[in-house]
A and B are shown apart, each in its own frame.
Chain A
Amino acid sequence: MNLYSLRGLRQIFEGRAVLDIEVLELSSGVSYALLGPNGSGKTSLLHILAFLRPPVMGEVFFQGRKVDWREKALLGLRHKVVLVDQHPIMFTTTVLKNVEYGLRMRGVPFRERRKIAEKCLDRVGMWAFAHRPAHLLSGGETQRVAIARAMACGPEVMLFDEPTASVDVENEAVIDGIVQDLRKEKGISIVFATHKRLEATRLADERIFLFDGRLTGPGGENLFSCTFVQRDQGTVCVIGENIALPVSLAKSGVAPEPPPRSLSGPGRVFIKPDQITLSSIDKREDGMSLQDHVGEVVQMTAEGPNIKVLLDMGVTVRAVLSKEEIKRVRVMVGDRVRVVFGQGAVEPAV
């Protein structure tokens, strides 16, 4: 049974459509990273998943049951799901009382409540702060207490809105560790929004990409604003200052509908990370073509059986190559390489 099923979801905020999701299914016991740039609808989606704001249109199913958005019916659901804000807010009282809040709302007796709260505070390494005024903590400390406060509620699902966006490296490591443990030890389902791809790789089993409120599929990693220009060879998109790539107008699974034949002016394109190949810059096999560009390798990370390569080409482009391919080309971080985009690597995004 799916944990969440979202159908035909639309959310409008201050007259602007911030979410438009056809179908989204989330499974139980899985950790999801919600990726996307600022304003892509990550927070709006989390608020719906946390039952804090009903969508304008569409249906949400939680654990197989359709969500009834009337306030009375939501209380039971909210007891199972808890959201940790990007900038959590602390009630103006002690740290311990903040952590106890959710338990108090659930009618847990004082002794038990205190025991659980102390355990949760200890888990996030904030036990020493238990009797301090919570609203005077630093950003990282606040984030940790907020996680303890959410953990104390004993939820089945924990949602995090950019948990490490505004904390230092030390706090980030601690928070990462806690999030990992939550899923592994307690089997809690996790959805966290982030724009740190490394964090997403480290903590998530699956990734969901959002752009402009829509699910974009894995191509969402390489989504760029561009200008479409018509040339002899066909439609070309110009990204940044020095990338011009032919656009494949064939219908694919990523783009929901075929774009109009003649594109021009500003728009967006996906570049499929698995259709990019690299080769040594001094090899000139058959001369440089329009498909070829030069980029600098800035980061390489393992991603399952593959290696993800971050290329600085004026804009940051992500390529996914097999380990064998990487060994064959012999690229290192810091190398300048020739970047070849395969036919059909570039598609217009709707």
Chain B
Amino acid sequence: MDFLAQSLAEALRMIWSLDPEMYFIVYVSLYVSFFSTVVASILGVPLGFLVAVNQFRGKRAVITILNTLLALPTVVIGLFVYAFLSRRGMLGHLGLLYTPKAIIIGQVILILPWVATFTLAAVSRIDERYRRTALTLGAGGLQAALAVAREARFGILAAIIAAFGRVIAEIGIAMMLGGNIKGFTRTMTTAMALEHNKGEFVLAVALGVVLLAVSLIMNIALQLVQGKYGGTR
């Protein structure tokens, strides 16, 4: 147990001393996670919304597929995207493999179903009367849809935050598509795995602490937003 306590103390010192290597790793992690979440939200929120509000043939099938994709293992995505981005692959000429962009592409595929599914669930829960009220008050189709989305905003925000939490903590995609290149694509999780392999715990523990802190901050932010109008009758 001693070594864990020692590592923790060292790790806190590292965080406190603003170790540049450690903070660059954190930066890369936040950078790829942020952009993959943004892209997945831009695609996933409207997708989930459209599936929720429209009645069409095959709606159940779409929902089932989305739910199945929730369980997609990161290594499968890593392998799949690798096949496209590797030099022999269809998009090999773009030279994206082992860049942050490659990680972002993989992570978008990972969390798009999450954002879409949770948006769908959040919007489906919204009372039909919101849409009807907006329409009778003179809203057009799009405006009424926005009024419904506005009511579902906390659910949608929660979906986005959950998705961010998912990508910042994943390792398979970052490792297989990013390649854990020091100072370029090394993320918190890949760095931790490497340090663990080397038997060096200090950096790993420090990054673990940062990872938890990021999670905590995201959740506090969500609570604050919800608190503004989240009261019940």
Contacts and interface: CB of A to CB of B under 8 A. Distances in A.
A37 B73 CA distance: 56
B137 A52 contact: no
B137 A92 contact: no
Nearest to B140: A75
Nearest to B143: A105
B84 interface: no
A52 B132 contact: yes
Contacts of A136: 231, 233
A129 interface: no
A102 B138 contact: yes
Nearest to A87: B129
- SS class, residues of chain B in contact with chain A: helix
B135 A92 contact: no
B147 A78 contact: no
Given A78-B136, A135-B233, A91 B141 contact: no
A79 B147 CA distance: 17
B129 A85 contact: yes
Interface residues of A, number: 26
B147 A91 contact: yes
Contacts of A79: 138
Interface string B126-162: 0101101111111111010001001100000000000
B156 to A, nearest CB: 13
Contacts of A173: none
A34 interface: no
Contacts of B150: 91-92
A82 B139 CA distance: 11
Contacts of A102: 137-138
A150 B231 contact: no
Given A92-B151, A153-B138, A85 B133 contact: yes
Nearest to A139: B233
Contacts of B231: 133, 136
A193 interface: no
A61 interface: no
B233 A91 contact: no
Interface in A43-95: 50, 52, 71, 75, 78-79, 81-83, 85, 87-89, 91-93
A91 B151 contact: yes
B3 interface: no
A16 interface: no
**Most B-side CB within 10 Å, residue of A79, A87, A105, A150:** A105
A105 B138 CA distance: 6
Given A85-B133, A88-B133, A75 B229 contact: no
Given A105-B143, A133-B229, A135-B233, A89 B130 contact: yes
Interface string A143-163: 000000110010000000000
Nearest to B147: A91
A106 interface: yes
**Most B-side CB within 10 Å, residue of A75, A81, A92:** A92
A13 B150 CA distance: 28
B130 to A, nearest CB: 6
B227 to A, nearest CB: 12
A78 B135 contact: yes
A52 B135 CA distance: 7
A136 B229 CA distance: 10
A149 B138 CA distance: 11
A127 interface: no
Contacts of A106: 138
B101 to A, nearest CB: 38
A75 B138 CA distance: 7
A78 B138 contact: yes
B132 A85 contact: yes
A91 B147 CA distance: 8
Contacts of B139: 101, 105
A270 B136 CA distance: 36
Interface string A122-138: 00000000000101100
B229 A150 contact: no
B141 A71 contact: yes
Contact of A52 (B127, B130, B136, B140): B136
Contact of A89 (B127, B141, B229): B127
Q: Which 3 pairs show the lowest CB-CB distances between chains A and B?
A: A102-B137, A105-B138, A89-B129
Interface of B: 127, 129-130, 132-141, 143, 147, 150-151, 229, 231, 233
11 contacts: A78-B136, A79-B138, A82-B137, A83-B136, A101-B147, A102-B137, A105-B140, A133-B229, A136-B231, A136-B233, A149-B137
